[in-house]
């Protein structure tokens, strides 16, 4: 099979880039300990309501002044429905699902995560501006998907 010189150059360039990206990912995983943002903590999706701290979803204040927010996503809503956090507070969200794949998105903040049954998704954000932030599901999860919208109030 005859390959044109330019074709060989592009093939070599493409293969070279694959090797570079693979080396970058491997280096980040081994040296920096990078892992995917979720899939770190697991939970039995049939026992979420009996598993602390998801048996009492909501906000917890930590000793260092930051907050943890535990959310349960289900068809078709989030628990808790409303969350109030003080302005300039760092909030780490722990979100899990009891049924199907959901999304956890706060569009104004850049928070945008998938919530998979059996896994705990973790995402952090510092709320610098007071106001009411929309929390939505951005993974189509069924007929009532459009109803999955709640609010995070920063005051
Ligand atoms: Cu949804």
Per-residue pLDDT of the chain (155 residues; tens, 9 = 90+): 889 999 999 999 999 999 999 999 999 889 887 776 655 788 999 999 999 999 999 999 999 989 999 999 999 999 999 999 999 999 999 999 999 999 999 999 989 999 999 999 999 999 999 999 999 999 999 999 999 999 999 99
pTM of the predicted protein model = 0.76
Give the start-to-end residue ranges of the domains of the chain. 1-35, 45-154
Dist. CA 100 → ligand 1 center (Å):
9
Dist. CA 15 → ligand 1 center (Å):
39
| b/e 57-94 (16+ beta carbons within 10 angstroms → b) | bebeeeeeeebbbbbbbbbbbbbbeebebeeebebebb
Dist. CA 103 → ligand 1 center (Å):
6
Q: Which residues contact 116 (CB under 8 A, 6 or more apart)?
A: 38, 39, 97, 101
Dist. CA 23 → ligand 1 center (Å):
36
Residues with CB under 5 A from ligand 1 (ion): 137, 141, 145, 148
Q: For 75, phi and psi rounded to 5 degrees?
A: -75, 120
Looking at domain 45-154, what is its CATH homologous superfamily? Cupredoxins -  blue copper proteins (2.60.40.420)
Dist. CA 135 → ligand 1 center (Å):
11
Task: Name beta bridge partners: 18.
Answer: none
> Do strands 149-154 and 131-136 pair parallel, antiparallel, or not at all (unpaired)?
antiparallel
Angle (nearest 5°) at CA 51 between 48 and 56? 85
């Amino acid at each position: 099979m005859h390959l044109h010189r330019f074709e060989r150059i592009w093939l070599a360039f493409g293969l070279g880039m694959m090797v570079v990206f693979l080396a970058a990912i491997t280096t980040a995983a081994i040296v920096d300990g990078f892992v995917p943002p979720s899939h770190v903590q697991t939970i039995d999706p049939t026992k979420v309501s009996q598993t602390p701290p998801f048996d009492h979803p909501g906000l917890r204040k930590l000793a260092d002044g930051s907050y943890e927010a535990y959310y349960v996503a289900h068809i078709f809503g989030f628990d808790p429905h409303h969350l109030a956090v003080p302005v300039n507070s760092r909030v780490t969200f722990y979100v899990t699902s009891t049924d199907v794949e959901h999304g956890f998105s706060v569009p104004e903040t850049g928070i945008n995560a998938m919530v998979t049954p059996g896994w705990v998704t973790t995402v952090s954000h510092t709320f610098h501006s007071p106001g009411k932030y929309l929390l939505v599901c951005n993974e189509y999860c069924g007929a009532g998907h459009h109803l999955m919208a709640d609010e995070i109030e920063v005051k």
